[in-house]
Structure 1
Amino acid sequence: MQVEDAIKARHAVRDFTDQPVAKETIQEIVRLAQQTPSWVNSEPWRVYAATGQSLTQIRQGCLDLAAQKVATSPDLKTMSRDDWDPRPQKLMKDWGHDLVHSFADFDEAHTVMTGASDALNNAPAILFVTIPKQTPDWAILDAGAFMQSLLLAATIKGQYLTGEKPGTVGPDGYSLDIAHTTEPGYADRQDDLIFDYQTNVALYPQFQDYVRQYQPDILAAWGKNDPSFIYPGAPRS
């Protein structure tokens, strides 16, 4: 599994399953994310993991506050979408438009999405990343980079382990992939590769025509549990 595959497969989950996440898995994801570079190696972040009863209490507290319409007091100033720069405004509007069309109507979309958000998307584990008050504002950037590494570590590790029996996959592969995420310029390279995926799909008809015309002997192997290149794509390709 390469970094570009992890980036391409990454998405915002709005409703998790109730499958618990092992403490050891969380610890390893955090350990791998610790490779994130920071200013003068300060590593200002602190991570607090909530699971089980603690998370249940936090989730219920969020639901209660939402029901009471209690005003929040965020550390960082919030802003109405109408006050954003035009480009992100358009992107958010387009996203919302596409999202609504995934439901029967706007009311259903609003009810489902708001309910999921208030319930913290029913996540079985949540990592809270903080920085001490005795740090400069720029430490937020270091914390953001660390959270990016957390997401990549979880995504890459999940892609290696999803569908596999516990204990059957060694850590070498996903650890190396995660380490590559800290290399200078890797994001631009992955963007180019991800964008180029469309050329592969566009060539499918030519591949299919060739096979139909010449009928060569083919041994096709497919990872049935691969979360990125899903099995239904095999018969269609």
Structure 2
Amino acid sequence: MKTRFKFQHITYLFIFFTTANISLVFSQTSKADPKDAQGWFGAKIKADLPNGWGGSTDYQSRYINNFKSYNGSYITVGVTKKINTFLELQADCRLALVQKGTYYRGSIGVEGTKDFGDFDFGLRMLVQNQLQEFDEVYKDNQREGYWRARFETNYSPTKGINIYVSTEPVMKFQGVRTVDNWRNIIGLKLKIANRTKLNLYYMHRLDYAKVSYDRLFQVAGVNLDYTLKIKKSNPSGHYLISK
């Protein structure tokens, strides 16, 4: 059954973008002007598999310098495994083709979730290893490690609408500071078709990677999420796509 947009949906969209309140006068960051507005746009295909397994493929393009400059493409392949009703193991690999070079990143972690009425609460812990290959001939490749802790709250005021907020410090092993950057997100997911959701979000990202000054990145994001539910048919044992 298709979900039709009503006046209530438009109201939620208005509240979301009003809350985001991104300043469009930002430019590429520097010590004199350490702020930037960015746009992240992508699409994701997720598969819910039998026996608690899951998989996903995600593509994202990012624009920086007040949305004026294309920074690159990010391709992520992930897998998940449900341990029980509360815990899920997660792992993914990401390839980033960006202005400064090529990034390879691997992540592994666990997420716990618990619902209370219309609210869902989650805590995700990740460890990441990243390798950067620079385009400059005389610049050595760089390997870095991070660990992250994200707390997220989801609220569904009505069917087909989900509002979420999250906060996530990202720590770098042997970094200049304990916290490399801190991401705060408010988002809105709308069911626009069968198995399809539109994910709109705003990220307020504080960056502490520089020694002499801090940076602020404000991100407007749009993602299209499509989910396939694949189940095993008994007694034939064939795998079918659930409606």
Q: Same fold (TM over 0.5)?
A: no
Higher relative contact order (CA 8 A, sep 6+): 1
Structure 1 or 2: larger strand share?
2
Rg (Cα) greater in structure: 1
Q: TM-score range by the shorter chain?
A: under 0.3
Structure 1 or 2: larger helix share?
1
